[in-house]
Amino acid sequence: MYEFIKKNIYLIILFIITLSIGFLTFLTFIDKGFIELNDQNLQILLVLNIFLLITLFIFIFIEIKNAIKNDIDTDGLKSNKKYITYFGLFTLIPSVLISIFSLFLFSFALEKYFDKKVTTVVNNSYELARSYVDEIRNKIQSDIVLIAFDTTKSKKFLNNDSIEYKRFLNTQKLIRNVDEIHIIDINKKLLFTSLDDDQTYIPPVDRALNLVLEDDRPLKIINAPENISAAIMRLQNFENRFLYVIKYLDKDISKYLTESQEAINFYYRVEEKSTGIKISFAIIYIIVVSVLLFVSISIAIRFSSRFFRSINNLILASTSIGQGNFNAKVPEVKTDKDLETLNKNFNLMIDRLKSQQEKLIINERHEAWESLARKLAHEIKNPLTPIQLTIDRLKNKYSDQLKESDTLSFKENLKIINNQIKQIEKLVNEFSDFARMPKPIFRENNLVHLINENINLLKELDNSIDIIFNKNSDKIFIESDKEQISRVFLNLIKNSIESINQKAENNNNFNKKITIELIEDDSHIKALIEDNGVGFKELKHNIRDILNPYFTTKKNGTGLGLSIVNKIVNDHNGKIEFIPIKHGAKIKIIFLK
């Protein structure tokens, strides 16, 4: 997800800007934004929206085109392109249909919003609320007249007694259902009141008092923000006395009226700008749908390419294997776990096929060389006996007939011939050994013990070489033929000793060292033999040739030792590898359990 955001950061920023401008346009149409609602501002916002929308489409087109080029075309699978196309169409078509339906639904809902019945309800609800408030405020006019009448009527009874006035005003307060009744003088000074605490008295405004100085009619006073409705009236039978009555409205009544008025204003403002609102809503919807389409198609391309890339790699690898190339591998790519497992198993299958092929090739090669070795040994061995008998006859017959000076030369020549015959016999014996290699008899043997035996034997031949043996266990068992597996390590360690001695002929100023490492884990046993001799410098480009029979780099070698080693390792379900290193050589053997 982070990589997706990082890759499309500019597109995301453009989307946020475009969406914000779309919402700002919508808010401006309904006069709820910070931009003033006028035709010029609306035109600028609409042009900006169209420009950003076109730019967004261009960016989306470029990104999808690049994604197809990088993730689909490189895979080269027609099925990949086909499924991506289908997915894109199946995503695009429903989205377009939903967009059209949503815009139609919004338009229909907006039209219904301004239906005549809705408009009537909106207007009537406000008129009812206002009539209710006016009724409460008008009622106080009639109440103050009645209170004034009762006050005048009870003038003698009250007799300016504050206690009687207090009782009288509280009675009137309950009867007339008002909140405060005051009798004040021309200076708005409180004479008598229904309040228990005179300090809470709030006098009327001067203008209201002045209007009733010479007028006997009651005057209604409205102070809506404080939810107060009041009236003031001159008391005719009292000199310079005025009756001041207050009625508190519901504390939320002004708030409701204000909100109702704002709602009505908003309602008619929306009605007036309904076309622009539809356009801005359509722009917002197109922006959101476009980005969602881009995201869905991008995700489809990404996951499809991950899936089909693995399939494509499998197809290419299987094609190469079908053509006989067992070095082909399925590249390890990040994909679904099941596909990763499939790729891994496919590579393991290739390795096993390659290993089996190599074993078959080695067996066929050895069978061919064994057949050749048997024929060579037979053909060479047959004339050796007559030659040897002839030499003995020549020696017996002519030794006494030759002069003393010629006898010595004659015997030296016969000796040379005998030595060459022995060399040929040795070669024939090696041919015979190679041809008669028996099948291994598998028993459980301790590989650590076998290697130690060979090390101790070879140290007797040359103790100037330091042989280091490291192992992760003292008992590492392997199903093997003891003599054959022992011959493997004897041959390899002996070759390392000969390589070191060959290097010492030219330069003896180095530490002669052979390192043997034996490691066992759950699946295999690995043996490493490393020396600091002459190494494989001459063979680093065709190092596998040293496994061929009769291929040798030694002066007196037959070229059969490593070939026999390879045959034995192969028969023991193993693999041998020769690795050139900077100063010497390394041999790695892996036996599978």
225 and 169 in a single domain? The answer is yes
Are the CB atoms for 519 and 529 separated by under 8 Å?
no
For 184-214, the DSSP string reads EETT--EEEES-S-GGG--PPPHHHHHHTSS
Q: What tokens does 55 get?
A: 């730019």
| Residue at 129 is within a domain | no
Are the CB atoms for 196 and 202 separated by under 8 Å?
no
Are the CB atoms for 91 and 296 separated by under 8 Å?
yes
Per-residue pLDDT of the chain (593 residues; tens, 9 = 90+): 566 566 667 667 776 777 777 767 766 666 666 677 666 766 677 777 777 777 777 776 776 677 666 655 554 456 666 666 676 677 667 767 776 776 676 666 555 555 555 566 666 666 766 776 677 667 777 888 888 888 888 877 777 888 888 888 898 888 888 889 999 998 889 999 988 888 888 888 888 888 888 887 887 776 655 677 888 888 888 888 899 998 887 766 666 666 676 767 666 666 666 666 667 667 767 777 777 677 666 666 666 666 666 777 777 777 777 777 767 777 676 666 777 777 788 778 877 777 777 777 767 766 666 666 666 666 676 777 777 778 777 777 776 676 666 777 777 787 888 877 777 777 777 666 665 667 788 999 999 999 999 998 888 877 888 999 999 999 999 999 999 999 899 989 998 898 888 888 888 788 889 999 999 988 899 999 999 888 876 665 566 666 665 555 555 555 567 878 888 888 888 888 888 888 888 999 999 87
| Residue at 325 is within a domain | no
In terms of Cα–Cα distance, which of 61, 63, 98, 67 is closest to 84? 67
32 and 173 in a single domain? The answer is no
Range of 423's domain? 337-435
| Residue at 387 is within a domain | yes
Q: What tokens does 250 get?
A: 């519901």
350 and 400 in a single domain? The answer is yes
Ranges of H-type helices in 186-327: 206-211, 253-272, 274-322
225 and 299 in a single domain? The answer is no
CATH number at residue 167: 3.30.450.20
Q: Which of 435, 469, 503 is the last residue of a domain?
A: 435
Q: Which of 231, 259, 287 is the last residue of a domain?
A: 259
69 and 104 in a single domain? The answer is yes
310 and 396 in a single domain? The answer is no
Q: At what angle do helices 274-322 and 39-67 cross, to 10 degrees?
A: 10
Are the CB atoms for 257 and 264 separated by under 8 Å?
no
Euclidean distance between CA atoms 546 and 580, whole angstroms: 13
Write the CB contacts of 533 (distance below 8 Å, at least 6 apart in sequence).
Answer: 496, 498, 499, 500, 501, 502, 503, 584, 585
| Residue at 122 is within a domain | no
Give the strand pairing for 466-471 and 513-520: parallel
SS3 399: coil
11 and 144 in a single domain? The answer is no
| Residue at 118 is within a domain | no
470 and 583 in a single domain? The answer is yes
Q: What tokens does 296 get?
A: 């869905």
Give the strand pairing for 524-531 and 477-480: unpaired
218 and 142 in a single domain? The answer is yes
Domain count, the chain: 4
CATH number at residue 585: 3.30.565.10
| Residue at 486 is within a domain | yes
Q: Which of 435, 461, 480 is the last residue of a domain?
A: 435
Q: What is the pLDDT of residue 518?
A: 94
Classify residue 201 as exposed, middle or buried by CB count within 10 Å of its CB (0-12, 13-18, 19+): middle
Query: What are the distances in angstroms from CA 150 to CA 73, 145, 332, 558?
Result: 101, 9, 104, 147
| Residue at 491 is within a domain | yes
521 and 390 in a single domain? The answer is no
106 and 173 in a single domain? The answer is no
In terms of Cα–Cα distance, which of 373, 370, 372 is closest to 438? 370
106 and 247 in a single domain? The answer is no
| Residue at 459 is within a domain | yes
Range 282-287, long-range pairs (CB < 8 A, 24+ positions): 282/103, 283/22, 283/25, 283/49, 283/50, 283/53, 284/19, 284/22, 284/23, 284/26, 285/99, 285/102, 285/103, 286/53, 286/99, 287/15, 287/18, 287/19, 287/22, 287/53, 287/56
